[in-house]
Structure 1
Amino acid sequence: MTKVVLGIIVSILTGVISSYLFLMYFLNRKRVKIEISSHISKVTFEGQTNYFFKFINKTKSEIFDIRVEPTFYKQVGGVGGMNIQGKDIVLEDNFISYIPCRKKSDTNSLHAMRVRTTEDIESNWSDNSSYLRLTVIAKHSLSGFTDIFVKDFYSKDVITTKKFKSGDDLGVA
């Protein structure tokens, strides 16, 4: 009788440990990986000034339900100190349903995305206490895990009239 109970306990512990290791090792590796450029590209076309943000899907799998949220923050005075006030920046396309993973056969670099706004970011950037935050939220296609990636831009110096390079390069030229 003791051997039966001991066998059941060992079986349960083995199942719990193997499930834990599966979740921690396998599924934890199935997370979204996104890199965001340190530059904001200011390009004029069709008589309109556009500000571009670039990010790259570095995940070894597809990602979906991607939301991009740029927000302009500035300090405002409060009772007893300073607070931060946020103002959303409207993008021309802030929801992307699907981004593929990087493939050698992909000549169009579909895993690298650029989103744009036509709002005048430079005029809203009034002082040195202001900054812009770009948030990218995405889900992994296999695990379904959602991850959030944030890039803060603390100075107007990140805005450049150069265009983004193609592919995996987050730089400008």
Structure 2
Amino acid sequence: MTDLILGITISIVAGVISSYLFLMYFLKRKRVKIEISPHVSKVIFEGEVNYFFKFVNKTNSEIFDIRIEPTFYKQVGGVGGMNIQGKDIVLKDNFISYIPCKKKSDTNSLHAMRVRTSEDIESNWSDTSSYIRLTVIAKHSLSGFTNIFVQDFYCKDVITTKRFKSGDDLGVA
């Protein structure tokens, strides 16, 4: 009888430990990894001025349900102090259903995405307390875990007339 209880206890403890190790080591690695460029590229595209944001899927797997939300924040006076007021920047495409992972056979760098807006963000950027926050929300294709990535642009100096480099490079040239 004691051997039976000891066997059951050992089985339960081994199951709990193996489940913990699975969750901590396997699933923890199955998270979305995205890098966002610190630049905003101002380019004439389709006859109008557009501002491009770039981000790259650094995950070893596909990601899906990607939402991109740029927001312009500026300080406004409130009773007893300052508050932040947000205004959404409308993108041409703010939802991407699927982005593949990086592959050697991919000559078009489909894992690197550029999104654009035709709003004149330079004229809306009126003072030094204003900034733009780009938020990218994505799900991992295997685990289903969602991660949120944020890049803040604090001054107009991040806007450049140079174009983004191709592939993983987040720089401009």
| TM-score, with structure 1 as normaliser | 0.98
Classify the secondary structure of the residue corresponding to 1:169.
Answer: coil
Partner of 2:171: 171
Corresponding letter in the other structure for 1:38: P
- Kindly indicate whether residue 108 of structure 2 is the aligned counterpart of residue 108 of structure 1: yes
Classify the secondary structure of the residue corresponding to 1:5.
Answer: helix
Partner of 2:161: 161
- Equivalent-residue separation in structure 1 for 2:24 and 2:46 (angstroms): 50
- Equivalent-residue separation in structure 1 for 2:64 and 2:46 (angstroms): 31
CA positional deviation for 1:7: 1.3
Classify the secondary structure of the residue corresponding to 1:103.
Answer: coil
Per-residue CA distance 1:83-110 (angstroms, 9 max, x = gap)? 1111100000000000000001100000
Classify the secondary structure of the residue corresponding to 1:110.
Answer: coil
- Equivalent-residue separation in structure 2 for 1:115 and 1:84 (angstroms): 25
Partner of 1:35: 35
- CA RMSD across the alignment: 0.7
| TM-score, with structure 2 as normaliser | 0.98
Corresponding letter in the other structure for 1:60: N
Corresponding letter in the other structure for 1:57: N
How many residues align? The count is 173
> Once superposed, which parts of structure 1, at least 4 consecutive aligned residues long, lie more than 4 Å away?
none
Per-residue CA distance 1:90-138 (angstroms, 9 max, x = gap)? 0000000000000011000000000000001001111000000000000
Per-residue CA distance 1:50-101 (angstroms, 9 max, x = gap)? 0000000000000000000000001111111111111100000000000000
Partner of 1:131: 131
- Equivalent-residue separation in structure 2 for 1:144 and 1:28 (angstroms): 12
- Same amino acid, percent of matched pairs: 86
CA positional deviation for 1:13: 1.0
Corresponding letter in the other structure for 1:80: G
- Kindly indicate whether residue 42 of structure 2 is the aligned counterpart of residue 45 of structure 1: no
Unpaired stretches in structure 2, ≥5 consecutive residues: none
